[in-house]
Amino acid sequence: MDMVNVKINNVEYSVPAGSTVLEAAKYAGIEIPTLCYLKEINEIGACRLCLVEVKGARGLVTACVYPVNEGMEIFTNTEKVRQARKMNIQLVLSAHKKHCLSCIRSTTCELQRLANEFGVDEHYFRSDEKEYDIDESSPSIIRDNSKCILCRRCVAVCNKVQGIGAIGAQNRGYDTAIGSQFELPLAETSCINCGQCIVACPVGALYEKDDTDRVREAISDPTKHVAICCAPSVRAQIGECFGYEPGTDTEGKMVAALKRLGFDGVYDMNFTADLTIMEEAHEFIDRLQNGGKLPLITSCSPGWIKFCEHYFPDMTENLSSCKSPQQMFGAVYKTYFAEKLGIDPKDIVFVSAIPCTAKKFEVTRDDQDADGIPGVDIAVTTRELGRMINAAGIDFRNLADEKFDTPIDFGSGAGVIFGATGGVMEAALRTAAEIVLGKPLEKVDFTEVRGTDGIKFATYKLGDLELNVAVASGTGNAKKLLEGVRDGTYNVQFIEIMACPGGCVNGGGQPTQPFSVRNAVDLRAVRASVLYNADKRMDVRKSHENSIIKKIYSEYLGEPGSHRAHELLHTTYVKRGL
C-alpha cells in the first residue's frame, strides 16, 4: 500500500495515499465530527461540521472530501475550527424542532451529542422552526421533517444501497425538504418499509411506528394471554441498548427481562425458523424434481417481498410460498399450541420481537391469518423492546440469565443463523442436501454462502445433482442479481434475498449507532458472529432434527407440504408494480 507522510496537530503520521483528511485523522486516532458522512454512501460535505485547517489552503476545508497529499499539515482542533463547527451546529439548531426531552432519539441523537460537546446555546440564532405534517401513513415508518437536518443520509441509503429512491430532496435553497415524489404519503410510494433510512438518520426525523403501548395494554388485560417470540438476531443486538459492545450475546438477560415485563410465554423464534426450512426445503425439492418454477427465492424477508412485488412482479411466482418465521409462529401458536394450552385463540395476543421495521407491515398483509384470525397481532423492534425494558425500571445488565419457556424453548443451529445473510440458504442446504443424498452430511457448514458481500454464488455437488445457488442482501444488490437471472447471465436454482445489507443483524429495527461506530466497525460481521458462534456450540444443527419440529408434524401437520401445512404456513403475493 502506498503511503504519504502528513502532520496532524503537529504530530507526524504515515497514512494510506488517497485517504481523505477525515480518514487520515481516524487513522491517527482522532475523531472529526460530522453529521452527514456515511462511508462510501454519503460523502458530500454538506453539514460542514468536519471543517479543519490545512496549511496553505484558502479557508477551512471539509475533511470528509478533502484528499491528503505528501507533506500536508492539518489542524483539527484550533479555536478557528471549533468556532466554525459551533456556529454550524447553532445554524442547524435554528431550523430544528428542539423537543429533545420527548424525542425518541434523546441521548442517542448525534446532533444532541455534538451540541453538548461544543456547549451550544440552542437559542443563539432566532429560532425559525418549520412546521411540517408528520407522515404516519406507513405501518412501519414515521417521518417528521421538522427534525430533519438535510444531511441526506436517508436519501443516499434509499437510493444507493437499496436502489429504491422512495425519498429525495425537493425544492431548493431554504425551502429544501426531504420527501416523496408529488408529495405522496410514504405508504403510497414504493417504500418497502425496510427502515434503513431510520438507522442512517442521525436525529429523530425518522423512526419506527411505536407499538409498545399496545403491548403494555394487552399485558395489563387479565382476559388476555400474551405471548412473545424473539427473532434470532434480537439476542445479538439488544445488549447495545444497554451499553454492551456490538457482538455481545445477551440471550439469557433478554429472556429474563421479557419475563419481568409480564408476558405469559417467552419463546424462541428459532423454532419456526426451523419450521420454515422444513417447508421451504420440501418446496424447493418438489420444484426441482417435478418441473416447478425456478429459481426458488426465499420469502422470509418482508421488505424483500414488497420490493419484488413492486420492481419484479413477473418473478413473484419464483417466491417460496412459505410465510416468514414470524408469521408461522403466530399461526401455530394460535392453533396447535392454543389447543395444547386450552386457550381460545381469540384470547391470545401474540407479539414478535424482531430486528425489522418491515415486519410491522407484514402483520397487516392479507393471507397471513391462522384459521381466520390474525396470526401475529403486534411486532416490536429491538429498539422498542429496549425502551420497554428501560421504562419498566428493569436493570438489564444485572439480570441473571434465564431460559425460554417450554415447550417452545428449542431451535437448531440452522434456525439461529437465519439472522445473517446466507444463513437461510445454509440452513436450507443442510436439510435439502440430506433429503437429496438420503444420508447424513459429513460437514454441515456451507461457508461459501457466508460473509457480508452483497452478492455471493456457490455450486454444490449433491450426488448426480449440481446445484447453483446465490445469496444477495440489500435490495440494490437483489436488483443486480435478478436482472442477471432475467437476462440469462446467472444460472441458479435457489436464491436467498434479504432486504437489509448483511441480513437481519443490520435490520432497520436494530439499535442505532453513531457514525463513529458505523464507519469504523463492520456491524454486520460483528453481529453475525454471535449467531455463527451459537450455531457452532449447539448439539442439533439441522432443522429436520429438531425434536419439537418432529412432534408438531407427527401430531398436527402431517408432513411438510401437507394440506394442513399449506393452510397455516403458506401465503400468496401481489403484483404491485410501480
Write out the E strands in 174-280.
Answer: 177-179, 206-208, 225-230, 265-268
The per-residue pLDDT for 127 is 66
The per-residue pLDDT for 37 is 95
**Could you tell me where in the chain the CATH 3.40.50.1780 domains are found?**
213-569
Per-residue pLDDT at 374 exceeds 80: yes
The three cell numbers of residue 299 are 420469502
> Which amino acid, 193?
N
CATH class of the domain at 3-77: alpha beta
**Grid-cell match 427534525, residue found:** 147
Place 464 in a pLDDT band, splitting at 50, 70 and 90. Answer: confident
CATH topology of domain 92-208: Alpha-Beta Plaits (3.30.70)
CATH of domain 213-569: 3.40.50.1780
Higher confidence at residue 552 or residue 129? Answer: 552
Contacts of 163 (CB under 8 A, 6+ apart): 475, 476, 478, 479
Mean predicted lDDT score pLDDT of the chain: 95
Per-residue pLDDT at 122 exceeds 70: no
Per-residue pLDDT at 229 exceeds 80: yes
Contacts of 372 (CB under 8 A, 6+ apart): none
**Could you tell me where in the chain the CATH 3.30.70.20 domains are found?**
92-208
To the nearest whole percent, how much of the chain has pLDDT over 70?
99
Helices 423-437 + 270-290 axis angle, to 10: 50
For 376, the 3-state DSSP assignment is coil
Per-residue pLDDT at 130 exceeds 80: no
**Could you tell me where in the chain the CATH 3.10.20.740 domains are found?**
3-77
The per-residue pLDDT for 182 is 87
Q: pLDDT tens-digit profile of 285-320?
A: 999 999 899 999 999 999 999 999 999 999 999 999
Backbone dihedral angles phi then psi of residue 24, each to the nearest 5 degrees: -65, -40
CA distance 5 to 68: 9
CA distance 251 to 402: 8
To the nearest whole percent, how much of the chain has pLDDT over 90?
91
Place 384 in a pLDDT band, splitting at 50, 70 and 90. Answer: very high
CA distance 147 to 124: 18
Backbone dihedral angles phi then psi of residue 210, each to the nearest 5 degrees: -80, 125
Q: Tell me the pairing of strands 378-381 and 455-462.
A: unpaired
The per-residue pLDDT for 399 is 98
The three cell numbers of residue 328 are 408461522
Per-residue pLDDT at 577 exceeds 80: no
**Following DSSP, what letter does each residue of 257-320 receive, concatenated?**
HHHHHT-SEEEETHHHHHHHHHHHHHHHHHHHHHT--SSEE----HHHHHHHHHH-GGGGGGB-
Alpha-carbon separation of residue 555 from 175, 412, 469 (angstroms): 63, 20, 34
